[in-house]
Amino acid sequence: MKRPSLTPILCAVPLTVVVVCAIGAHWLAADATEQDVLLGVVPAGTSGHLFGTDQLGRDILQLGIAGARSAVVGPVCIALGSMLIGVVLGTFAGYFGGWADLALTKYADLLLALPTTLIALVVAGLVDGGYWVTVLVLVVLFSPTDIRLVRGAVMTQAARPYIESARVLGLGRLRIMFRHILPNVLPVALATMLLNVAFALVAMSALSFLGLGVGPGEPDWGRQLSDGRDLLGRNAAAVIVPGVLIIVTAAAINLLGDWLQERSVERAGRR
Amino acid sequence: MLRFALGRLAATVVLLLAVSFVVFALLHLAPGDPARNLLGPRPSSPEALTSIRAQYHLDDPFIGQYLRWLGGVVHGDLGQSIRSDEPVTTLLADRVTLTLQLASFAFAITVLAAVPLGIAAASRAGSVIDRGVSVAAIVGVGAPTYAVGLLLLYVFGVNLDVFPVYGAGEGGLDRWWHLVLPAVTLAGGLGALVFKLTRTAVLGELDQDYVAFARSRGLSTRQVRALVLRNAMVPVVTSLGLVFGFLFGGTILVEVTFALQGIGSLLAGSVTFKDIPVVQAITLLTAAVIALTALAVDLFSFAADPRVRKRTTA
C-alpha cells in the first residue's frame, strides 16, 4: 500500500474534538444560548468573546461548540438507521432474489431518481415535525443506497464456495445469511455508514440553514450560518466559524470513510 | 430500437404517474385541514372554507380529486399560489430564466474543468496530481454548498470586493457577472462528482484488453487515447441523470445563499409558507425533467453503444 497512513490520524483529530464538544456541550458551552440583546453584535476579538457575538449577543464560539451536538447526534442516527434498513432488506433481496429482489430494487430506484435535498425539504417542511421527524425522513431517503450496497455485497458473497459448502452441510438460510455472509459484508457497510454520516450532516445542516429541522434558538451550525448571513460586514466570524466547522467535519469524515472503503475493498479482493 | 424506445417511454410515464400521485397526496399529508391550508392567511370564515372546498373539490373522493388535478396539470394548469394569489405557471415563468442561467453556467464550468481533469488524472493514475485532485474531489462532493458559498461571498464579495454580494443584477452582462460566485459554488460540488465519474470511467477503459492490444500493435498514444475517450464517455453521459439531480438540489441552496429569485428559492420559500400548489408544481416539474433526462440518456446510449443494444435485445 503506497497511500500514507497519515489520513486516519489527520481526520481523527478534528473528529475527536467535535465528538468531545458534542458530549461535553453542557459544560464546555454552558451559556451558548444566553442572549444579550443590549450588547448586540460585537466583532471578533472583543474581550470575553473571542469570535464576537451575533445579533442577539450570543457568543459565536460557544454556539459553535454547542452546535456540535445536533451535528453529531442526528447524522449518526441517520447513518445507523438507514444501514439497519439496508442490512435487513439488502440481505433479504440479495440472498433470496426473485420477487422480493425485484420489488426492493424498484423501490430503491424510485427513491434514487429524485434529489434528496428536494424531497427532504418538501416532506420535512410540510410535515413540520422538528428535528427527529427530519432524521426519520433522511433515514428513509438514505436507505436505498444502503439496500443496493448490501444487496450487491451479499450477492457476490453468496456465489462463493464457502456459502455453497455451508448449504451442502445443511445449514439454515437465516444462519447462513446472518452468521456467515453478514460478517463479510460488514467492513464495506461500516465504511459506507461513515460516508453517510458526512452526507447526513450536510443534509441536516442544509435543512436547518433553510429554517427547518432544529427549533429556533437551538444551537446548530446550519442555523448559525443563516443567522450570520446578514452579519458578513459586521462580524464575519459569525459565518466563518460555523462554515469552517461544517466543511472541516464533513471533509474529515469523508476522507476517513474513503480510506476505510478502499481498505475494505482491498481486503475483500485479497480474500 | 422502436421496441426499446417504446418500452422505456412507457416506464417513464408510469414513473411520472407514480410521482404525480405522491405529489398530489402532499396536500393531504400536510398536517391540518387541507381547506384551511389552501386558504392560507386569509380569514377562515365558514363561507370561505365552503367556497375553497367547492373550488378544489375537496369533498369528492380522493381519486376523483387526483384525476381532476392531473387533468389540469396535463392542460398546463398548475393551480393558484396561496401566497401571491397568482397562477403558479406565471410565478414559475417569471423565475425559470434565472435558474436555467445559473444551472447552465455551473454546468458549463463543470464540464470544462472536471472532464479534462478527470481524463488527466486517470492517465497519470497514482501521481501526485492525481492524488491531490482526488482528495479535493472527495472533499468537494461532500462539501456543504451553502457554507462554501457564504465563505466565497465573504472572501470575494466583502473582503476583496471583486464580485457583487447579493442579487441577480440588471440583465445582460451584469446578470452573468452576478452569477459568477453562485455558479462557481454550485460547480464545486458538481465538478467533484463529474471528476470522479470521468476518472473511474477512463481508468476502467484503460484496463481493457483492447487498449493493450492497440498499444502492442503500435498505435500512437494519441490514437489510443481517442479510442479510450470514446468508450469512456458512455458511462459519463449515462450518469447525466444523477448529475442533474445533484444540480437541482444544489440550486435550491445556492439561490437561497445568494438571494437569487429563482425556482429553488421559490420552492424554499413556498415550503416554509406552506404554499402547497407551488410546492407540488416545482416538485413535479423537477421529477419530470430528471425522468426525461434519464429517458434521453438511455435512448442515446442505446443508439451510440452497440454493446448496450446487444444486451437489451438479447
- Please report residues of A whose CB lies closer than 8 A to that of B280: none
Closest chain A C-alpha to B158 CA, distance in angstroms: 7
Mean pLDDT estimate for chain A: 82
Rounded distance, CA B153 to CA A171, Å? 62
Q: Using a CB cutoff of 8 Å and minimum separation of 24, what contacts does B280-285 make?
A: B280/B23, B280/B24, B280/B26, B280/B27, B280/B78, B280/B79, B281/B78, B281/B79, B281/B88, B281/B89, B281/B92, B282/B92, B283/A118, B283/A119, B283/A122, B283/B19, B283/B23, B283/B26, B284/B19, B284/B20, B284/B23, B284/B73, B285/B92
pLDDT value of position A271: 52
For residue A1, pLDDT beyond 50 = no
More confident residue, B302 or B264: B264
Of the partner residues A115, A127, A210, the one whose CB lies closest to the CB of residue B268 = A210
Interface with B, mutate which of A141, A202, A221 (most B CBs under 10 A): A202
Residue given cell 458530549 in the structure block: A23
Residue in A203, A177, A169, A168 with CA at minimum distance from that of residue A78: A203
Counting every residue written for chain A, the total comes to: 271
Question: Is residue B272 less than 8 Å (CB to CB) from chain A?
Answer: yes
Closest chain B C-alpha to A125 CA, distance in angstroms: 6
Which residue in chain B is spatially nearest to A198 when comparing CA positions?
B142
Interface with A, mutate which of B14, B24, B29, B150 (most A CBs under 10 A): B150
- Please report residues of A whose CB lies closer than 8 A to that of B257: 229
Closest chain A C-alpha to B264 CA, distance in angstroms: 9
Model confidence at A51, pLDDT cuts 50, 70, 90, reads confident
**Chain A residues 59-98 within an 8 A CB cutoff of chain B:** none
Closest chain B C-alpha to A187 CA, distance in angstroms: 20
**Phi first, then psi: what are they for B40, rounded to 5°?**
65, -135
Four-residue CA torsion sign, B150, B199, A146, A194: negative
> Do the beta carbons of residue A53 and residue A42 sit within 8 Å?
yes
What global pTM score does this model have? 0.85
- Please report residues of B whose CB lies closer than 8 A to that of A253: 142
Closest chain A C-alpha to B18 CA, distance in angstroms: 9
pLDDT value of position B313: 56
E strand segments, A104-254? none
Dig out the grid coordinates for B239 from the structure: 450518469
> Do the beta carbons of residue A152 and residue A94 sit within 8 Å?
yes
Rounded distance, CA A38 to CA A252, Å? 38
Residue in B296, B178, B308, B282 with CA at minimum distance from that of residue B241: B296
> Do the beta carbons of residue B287 and residue B19 sit within 8 Å?
yes
- Please report residues of B whose CB lies closer than 8 A to that of A127: 29-31
Closest chain B C-alpha to A231 CA, distance in angstroms: 10
Interface with B, mutate which of A121, A137, A235 (most B CBs under 10 A): A121
Tens-digit pLDDT profile for residues A171-227: 877 778 777 788 888 888 888 898 899 999 999 998 888 888 787 778 888 888 888
> Given an 8 Å threshold on Cβ–Cβ distance, is B150 in contact with A222?
no
For residue B29, pLDDT beyond 60 = yes
Rounded distance, CA A146 to CA A220, Å? 27
User: For residue B226, with 0-12 CB atoms within 10 Å meaning exposed, 13-18 middle and 19 or more buried, which class applies?
Assistant: exposed
Model confidence at B303, pLDDT cuts 50, 70, 90, reads confident
Which contiguous run of DSSP H or E holds residue B94? Answer: helix B88-123
Please state the rounded mean pLDDT for residues B237-261: 84
> Given an 8 Å threshold on Cβ–Cβ distance, is B144 in contact with A121?
no
Rounded distance, CA B66 to CA A97, Å? 35
Rounded distance, CA B124 to CA A5, Å? 22
E strand segments, chain A? none
Rounded distance, CA A215 to CA B4, Å? 50
pLDDT value of position B106: 92
Strand, coil or helix: A29: coil
